[in-house]
A and B are shown apart, each in its own frame.
Chain A
């Protein structure tokens, strides 16, 4: 069955430090992969997506992610974290089927940024 795992429920980093959020997936076909961010009390906003081509993708707010097929991973990175990056981050895989666009979401990782 298709699934997405975010092994880290909660991560704390210092402002200015680098960040890596892990995402592992189980998917039968070549996956389409997404990272979303949710600020407190807000909806989800797309950070970046991968569906083909270069395995290193750039997103908004200085984030990037690398698709590694051999490891079934799509980890999110940022070289220098800002206090405003504190939020919950969701990895998602899809589409589940070609005509519905359903996504499967991970459980989320909460990022806390220390001053």
Chain B
């Protein structure tokens, strides 16, 4: 049981290049999320997918697209990378606990630098 996995771990892009960050979970969770983490900003939600086949914008969606490929996989795409997208990206997944809150499980992160 690997939990939430992300690839790649590190990436350097030039301005204008594109790339896709991959995320997969093996916990049969319905909901998946993409966050970015910047110093002093905490975690900010980029996009989320409440269930397979649905995606919605979060707090900072501009410059990103997502695909919920199936229940396990949720990818994040940067079509034309900009230096402002230099950040650490985290994928998370969650399932509602019986009668309780959604506990999110996080992947190890992707450190992206755009030059």
Chain A residues close to B by CB (< 8 Å): 9, 32, 34, 36, 41-46, 49, 51-52, 90, 94-95, 99-103, 105-108
Contact = CB atoms under 8 A, between A and B. Distances in A.
Given A90-B42, A100-B48, A46 B103 contact: yes
Given A32-B101, A42-B108, 17 more contacts: A32-B100, A34-B103, A42-B109, A43-B108, A43-B109, A44-B43, A44-B90, A44-B106, A45-B106, A51-B100, A52-B100, A95-B101, A101-B31, A101-B50, A106-B42, A107-B41, A108-B42
B56 interface: yes
B104 interface: yes
B45 interface: yes
Nearest to A42: B108
A101 B104 contact: yes
Nearest to B31: A101
Nearest to B49: A100
A100 B33 CA distance: 10
Contacts, number: 63
A94 to B, nearest CB: 6
B107 A43 contact: yes
Interface range for B: 20 to 34
A103 B102 contact: yes
B61 interface: no
B90 A43 contact: yes
A19 to B, nearest CB: 20
14 contacts: A9-B40, A43-B106, A43-B107, A44-B43, A44-B92, A49-B103, A51-B100, A90-B42, A100-B48, A101-B31, A102-B33, A102-B45, A102-B58, A108-B42
Contacts of B31: 100-101
A94 B102 contact: yes
A77 B31 CA distance: 30
Listed from nearest, the 10 A-B pairs whose CB atoms lie closest are: A101-B102, A32-B101, A43-B106, A107-B42, A44-B106, A105-B43, A100-B50, A101-B94, A105-B42, A101-B31
